[in-house]
Amino acid sequence: MARSTMRDISRVTGFSVFTVSRALSGGDGVSEQSREQIIKAARELGYVVNRAAQELRRAKRDTVAIITASTSNSYYLDLMAGIQRALDPSEWTVIVGDVAVNGAYDARLEARMIQRLIESRTAGVISALTLQPEHAELLAKWDIPVVFVDSSPPPEAAHFPSVTTNNHKASMMVGQHLAGHGYKNWLFLVYPAKWSSRFGRESGLRDAASIAGANLVVLETANDSASARETLAQYLDDHAKPPHVLIAGNNPLLLGAMGLLKDRGIQVPGDMAVVAYDEFAWSTLTDPSITVLNEDSEEIGRRAAVMLREIIDGQEAAGRKGQSQSPVYVPEHRQQVSARLMLRRSCGCLESGRETAKGSSFQAA
């Protein structure tokens, strides 16, 4: 069966292309009887609308893009769930653009992605990383609104909306907990400043360390497991006294670090305690189970999507009034969500197997 167009349906039914369009898109100006006849013909011909033609003609856009670097960070799944819940999938199309290659952020990929989104006149963007300033500007020039999640806008575009974890507060909480354990030497293994969540996390830990009279060392590494492992190995080789506690900035870094500690026979938490950012599926099943700071990624995704929808609706309303289509950003479009600390064995909690209270006699090697 050949690909059919509205003109084919028009020929078959005898109605004009106008009437066919109106009938299929649910607009008025068509009698119920005619509509049924047209829909029936469309079904028989196997008609499917051509989105390119539709988008070319229509002002209204219905595709939003999520920009992320590496979907291996499992928070991404919750984020998506939250977004999907806020954007009715029959009305919106959500596409995901991963700007990481082999788990590592790639600047050229980001440029290509932005170009692509502008080419297809995307309705809006949710970005899980701090975009390069020129890219944020480019999107703004094309009136494409951007909401940053779990990351802040670049300083040059500070007024852009964002939904983030209150990283400073959350990290203070982490620090206070570590102080409670009596740890004095903290090592923060962290990804580059490209992901802006780093700043809040670092300053929160720093403030907590200062209050507790602890010593904080910040060790930066590229944002993947292999680099994290190598960077940490180098650090441990160079320093006679290992830290009391290792704070892993995110999941891939934790993975790299844990692999190294295991291979070197460093007991956790006996020889060195560990805490990490971001919850992940296996956190309770590793040896030992890992204490993590759990962001409410689903809530972040939901709020970001709602926000984006509001901004796009605002643009449309302005467009109908003949006003500027530039996205309007207001201060309420900067929100923070709080996080929870999930206490497990790696930080030194539950040492005596309190876990067994829940029904396990599971023993670590």
Interface with DNA (CB under 7 A): 3, 5-7, 14-19, 21-22, 24-25, 27-31, 33-34, 47, 49-50, 53-54, 56-60
With CB cut-offs between 5 and 8 Å by kind, which of a copy of itself, DNA, none does residue 21 bind? DNA
> Which C-beta is closer to DNA: that of 63 or that of 203?
63
With CB cut-offs between 5 and 8 Å by kind, which of a copy of itself, DNA, none does residue 264 bind? a copy of itself
d(CA 297, CA 289): 21
CB within 8 Å of 165: residues ≥ 6 apart: 150, 197, 200, 295, 296, 300, 336, 337, 338, 339
Whether 200 and 167 have beta carbons less than 8 Å apart is answered as: yes
CB of 210 to a copy of itself, least distance (A): 33
With CB cut-offs between 5 and 8 Å by kind, which of DNA, a copy of itself, none does residue 7 bind? DNA
The strand order across the sheet containing 93-98 reads 93-98, 63-68, 124-127, 146-149, 162-165, 334-337
- The CA-based angle 356-360-365, given to 5 degrees, is 95
Build a one-symbol-per-residue string for 82-101: x at contacts with a copy of itself by CB under 8 A, - elsewhere: --x----xx--x-xx-x--x
d(CA 216, CA 209): 6
Q: Does 360 bind a copy of itself (CB under 8 A)?
A: yes
With CB cut-offs between 5 and 8 Å by kind, which of a copy of itself, DNA, none does residue 159 bind? none
CB of 236 to a copy of itself, least distance (A): 13
* 199: Cα separation from own chain's centroid: 17
Whether 294 and 265 have beta carbons less than 8 Å apart is answered as: no
Q: Which amino acid is at 217?
A: V
Tokens at residue 227, please? 């680099």
With CB cut-offs between 5 and 8 Å by kind, which of DNA, a copy of itself, none does residue 287 bind? a copy of itself
Q: Does 115 bind a copy of itself (CB under 8 A)?
A: yes
* Count of C-beta atoms within a 10 Å radius of residue 140: 17
* Sites of contact with a copy of itself (CB under 8 A): 1, 3, 46, 48-56, 71-72, 74, 76-77, 80-81, 84, 89-90, 93, 95-96, 98, 101-103, 109, 112, 115-116, 118-121, 141-143, 225, 255, 258-259, 262-265, 280-282, 284-288, 353, 356, 358-362, 364-365
